[in-house]
Chain A
Amino acid sequence: MKVMVPKNLEEALDILVADPNVKIVAGGTDILPRINQGFESYQTLCYTNDFPEMNSITTMSDERVFVGASIKLATITNKSCLASYEALVDASAKVATPQIRNQGTIVGNLLQENRCKFFNNQVPWSDINRCFKWGGDRCFQYLKSKECVALFQSDLAPALIAHNAMLIICSKRGKRTVPLQNIYLRGGKKAIQHDEIVLGVLLPPLKGIERSTYVRITERPSFDFPLISCAIRMRQIEDKITDCSIVFGSAGSMPAIFVDAQDTFIGRRIHELQELSEIVKPKISRLIAPFKDTRNNASTRRNMANLAFDDALEKIVNRFLENR
């Protein structure tokens, strides 16, 4: 394996165009363990971490905030201009361990591979080469599945989707800006072309009284991937909820937006939310895939989603009450 170290973004894009098999590495905390463990191998990696276009946090003239793709997770928790994006700060502080947060980048977290016990916990004698992730023809989670159903594990994605974040992506063809949730496709795929590099995340300005939170359930409070997670963002104007985003992470192979609850909460007052939540909670189970792993079964996962939703709702209500 060789690692190309381009001097600038233009050179990195040239490398990607010249060789369709080159894989991008930035923080490396997702891809390098799999390479070390022999789960994946590449002829060429392209290191894209030190370009000025991807290394800044900037508040723009229209109050949108740009967070460069190479910004480390540990940096996000310390930046005052990001403090109001509470769900993002909550999520960044919960990822893995201090070492991973010092190495891993914001976009690396968003684009990390989905995980599954049959792939990530494989042993040399397992029949894993038949798995979709190995280029095989089956998913060991559901043998009838036509695609990989490995679990979505990003902590930041639900938080950033709740904040209506956009990704800025560039290639030799130019730049494009897309809503973050549109990047995630079925089967763990991402709607990003091989010759494209994500420059960063664009956060819309906060309006009115806007509060958010991110809650996750794990076996251990740190150094663990989420079993289920829930991000909620709400905007309050004149005592009423005027905008609301609720997103579950680790619900299946992609983030799940809880549209029923969003529609129910908009137009209501903060003190009504917990009572209304009892009406919408039975609909959560439809969003949660019956994924099997070494930690819990499908019904436990659904119960945990209810708990994560309750916890997130309680936290955001308390945050609104702090404003009074």
Chain B
Amino acid sequence: MSSHMFELSVTINGKDYCDMIPSDLMLVDYLRSYKYLTGTKKACNSGECGACTVIINGRAVYSCIMLAVQAHGCRIETIEGLSDGEELHPIQQAYISAGAIQCGYCTPGFIMSTKAFLDNEREIDEASIKEALSGNICRCTGYQQIIDAVVLASENMEEEK
């Protein structure tokens, strides 16, 4: 039975970690303050904006309304795990090519939602893209460029297969 501290074991971007953490620590705070993975953004803190989106066991989740203990034993993917050194992931490249980034604060969350969507879905059309990204908010782009980026990323990833 735990007390105030919890021994957390997780796999982040392919690497295993074990840390003693306060049991009430939110996952976003664990990622940012313990692992210095500050690409995951903390904004609304109530599961409404999607800036904190990460992928756990293949599914997109809000890390600001998830306790770190809930991720115990899980495989976590963050925005830092996408690029291969200097080489961007096709989704990241598509967001740049389609002009889907302005201030960029929401972008890591959008990209992680996009990755979870493209990894899991076979039928990709505008309606399914809108539904997949409905948990993320962008106040700059007006969304059309983001939808274009997902289509472009999907085509690029298909070509790479």
Q: How far is the CB of A82 from chain B (nearest CB, A)?
A: 18
Is the C-beta of B2 less than 8 angstroms from some C-beta in chain A?
Answer: yes
- Assuming A99-B113, A222-B131, is B24 touching A3 (CB within 8 A)? yes
Is the C-beta of A52 less than 8 angstroms from some C-beta in chain B?
Answer: no
Residue pair B46, A4 in contact (C-beta under 8 Å)? no
What DSSP secondary structure best describes chain B's contact surface? mixed
- Name the segment of A30-38, A298-306, A310-318 touching the other chain: A30-38
Residue interface mask B45-69, A partner, CB < 8 A = 1: 1111010010010011110111101
Is the C-beta of A260 less than 8 angstroms from some C-beta in chain B?
Answer: no
- Assuming A2-B23, A222-B131, is B62 touching A99 (CB within 8 A)? yes
Roughly how many angstroms separate A102 CA and B89 CA in the complex, as a whole number? 24
Residue pair A1, B24 in contact (C-beta under 8 Å)? yes
Residue pair B24, A99 in contact (C-beta under 8 Å)? no
**Residue in A37, A49, A98 whose CB lies within 8 Å of B134:** A98
Residues of chain A lying within 8 A (CB to CB) of residue B135:
96-100, 222-223
Roughly how many angstroms separate A241 CA and B107 CA in the complex, as a whole number? 52
Is the C-beta of B98 less than 8 angstroms from some C-beta in chain A?
Answer: no
Is the C-beta of B103 less than 8 angstroms from some C-beta in chain A?
Answer: no
- Assuming A3-B24, A5-B23, is B46 touching A99 (CB within 8 A)? no
Is the C-beta of A7 less than 8 angstroms from some C-beta in chain B?
Answer: yes
**Residue in B1, B50, B61, B116 whose CB lies within 8 Å of A7:** B1
Residues of chain B lying within 8 A (CB to CB) of residue A100:
47, 62, 135
Residues of chain A lying within 8 A (CB to CB) of residue B1:
4-7, 11, 15
**Residue in A1, A33, A98, A221 whose CB lies within 8 Å of B46:** A33
Is the C-beta of A29 less than 8 angstroms from some C-beta in chain B?
Answer: yes
Chain B interfacial residues counted at CB < 8 A: 33
Residue pair A2, B4 in contact (C-beta under 8 Å)? yes
Bin chain A's interface residue count: 20 to 34
**Residue in A2, A6, A33, A74 whose CB lies within 8 Å of B3:** A2
Identity of the chain B residue whose Cβ is nearest the Cβ of A224 in the assembled complex:
B134
Residue pair A47, B70 in contact (C-beta under 8 Å)? yes
Residues of chain B lying within 8 A (CB to CB) of residue A32:
26, 47, 65-67
Residues of chain B lying within 8 A (CB to CB) of residue A74:
59
How many residue pairs link A and B with beta carbons under 8 A? The number is 95
Q: How far is the CB of A75 from chain B (nearest CB, A)?
A: 10
Residues of chain B lying within 8 A (CB to CB) of residue A242:
none
Q: How far is the CB of A207 from chain B (nearest CB, A)?
A: 33
Residues of chain B lying within 8 A (CB to CB) of residue A97:
50, 134-135
Roughly how many angstroms separate A283 CA and B141 CA in the complex, as a whole number? 46
Residue pair A5, B47 in contact (C-beta under 8 Å)? no
Identity of the chain B residue whose Cβ is nearest the Cβ of A96 in the assembled complex:
B135
Is the C-beta of B6 less than 8 angstroms from some C-beta in chain A?
Answer: yes
Residue interface mask A270-294, B partner, CB < 8 A = 1: 0000000000000000000000000
Roughly how many angstroms separate A222 CA and B137 CA in the complex, as a whole number? 12
Is the C-beta of A199 less than 8 angstroms from some C-beta in chain B?
Answer: no
Is the C-beta of B132 less than 8 angstroms from some C-beta in chain A?
Answer: yes
- Assuming A3-B2, A4-B1, A5-B23, is B47 touching A99 (CB within 8 A)? yes
Q: Spell out A's residues near B (CB within 8 Å).
A: 1-7, 11, 15, 25, 28-29, 32-33, 36-37, 45, 47, 49, 74, 96-100, 102-103, 221-223
Q: A28-B70, A97-B135 are in contact. List 18 more A-B contacts (CB 8 A).
A: A5-B1, A15-B1, A25-B67, A32-B26, A32-B47, A33-B65, A36-B46, A36-B64, A37-B46, A74-B59, A97-B50, A97-B134, A98-B60, A98-B113, A98-B116, A98-B131, A98-B134, A223-B135
A sample of 20 cross-chain residue pairs with beta-carbon separation below 8 angstroms, ordered by A number, consists of A1-B24, A2-B4, A3-B23, A5-B23, A32-B26, A32-B65, A32-B67, A33-B47, A36-B26, A45-B24, A47-B67, A47-B69, A97-B135, A102-B60, A103-B66, A222-B131, A222-B134, A222-B135, A223-B48, A223-B134
